[in-house]
Amino acid sequence: MKVVMAGQGAFGIKHLEAMQKIDGIEVVSLAGGSPDSTKDVAERFKIPHWTTDLGEALAQPGVDAAILATPTQMHAAQAIQCLEAGKHVQVEIPMADSLADAERLAAVAAKSNKVAMAGHTRRFNPSHQWIHKKIQAGELKLQQMDVQTYFFRRKNLNALGQPRSWTDHLLWHHAAHTVDLFAYQAGEPIIAARGMQGPMHPELGIAMDMSIQMKVASGAICTLSLSFNNDGPLGTFFRYICDNGTYIARYDDLVDGKEQPIDVSKVDVSMNGIELQDREFFAAIREGREPNASVAQVLPAYQTLDVIEKSLI
């Protein structure tokens, strides 16, 4: 399968590393934002063609699919561009930074007869998969999720500490993970959501702190705290309070409420959530089916994000 990778930054590299572990995948073009860094990454991963024009990359002979790890503000338009070029597409989270763009992408995807997937990695992390399987088997029922998403980003830097050409967003990027995961784990739509935000950064123009509350029809609730002001520990930490136990997920590690480790190494074929996400994308293409985290499946999360945005005070 011939693939275009768009984005030469931190997450583009994560996808390129993941695809090296998946049989039958050939990255034939890298589309990046900066000529120098795009050329360097293409050479590092032995990609035969590189460009700063996504259209040129998609026009390479035999391209089947594209993965987009470009700046957030480009996601929806580029995903639509890929679908209209007749290519399957996986677009990194968030698939859009507004409900209107998310709905526009979903409409194009529905008519395309192509696999259109969003990179909602938490659905694939083994720690969260372990919880999901227990809930599906009736062994656990979710009562509350308590989530902390904390970074220290008072300057516009990416995950590698390098300057960004775009501005990140607590709501439309980082909250998107938890909003979708809460509904996914509860197995129900979110019926109520609201948020509160702290002061705007004087230069970046974004809120640096945010608090979100959500609820599903069965009564389960989620409390999400987010910050770009937190000077460690960094990352996202999930506490699942269930009817039959408490569990804490720290990326791919899982412990119970007494901090006893739970072995999740056998949950899936890898412990790398990005690799598992990519494997699902390519498997769905080969099998002609809807993937987990399809654009259609995650659209309700963006509807909830829109509700939260309108509620912010």
Sheet holding 2-6, edge to edge: 50-51, 26-31, 2-6, 65-68, 88-92, 116-119
Strand partners, 263: none
> Which CATH architecture describes the domain 2-119+274-290?
3-Layer(aba) Sandwich (3.40)
Of 132, 127, 131, give the one whose Cα is nearest residue 249: 127
Structure tokens at 212: 């979100």
Bond preceding residue 71 cis, omega within 30 of 0: no
Which residue shows structure tokens 């999360």?
301
Quote the pLDDT of residue 202. Answer: 85
Q: Assess contact for 295 and 95: CB atoms under 8 A.
A: yes
- CB proximity list for 111: less than 8 A, separation 6 or greater: none
Tally the C-alpha atoms within 13 A of residue 182's C-alpha that lie toward its C-beta: 36
Q: Assess contact for 5 and 31: CB atoms under 8 A.
A: yes
Q: Assess contact for 171 and 134: CB atoms under 8 A.
A: no
Local confidence band at 159 (pLDDT 50, 70, 90 cut-offs) = low
Q: How far apart are CA 128 and CA 181, in angstroms?
A: 9
Of 9-23, 114-128, 153-167, the range with the lowest mean pLDDT is 153-167
Q: Assess contact for 145 and 138: CB atoms under 8 A.
A: no
Torsion of CA 30, 34, 40, 42, to 10 degrees: 0
> Which CATH architecture describes the domain 122-272+301-311?
2-Layer Sandwich (3.30)
248-292 tens-digit pLDDT: 999 889 999 999 999 999 999 999 999 999 999 999 999 999 999
Quote the pLDDT of residue 166. Answer: 60
Quote the pLDDT of residue 104. Answer: 98
Domain ranges of the chain: 2-119+274-290, 122-272+301-311
Q: What mean pLDDT is predicted for residues 147-171?
A: 76
pTM above 0.85, yes or no: yes
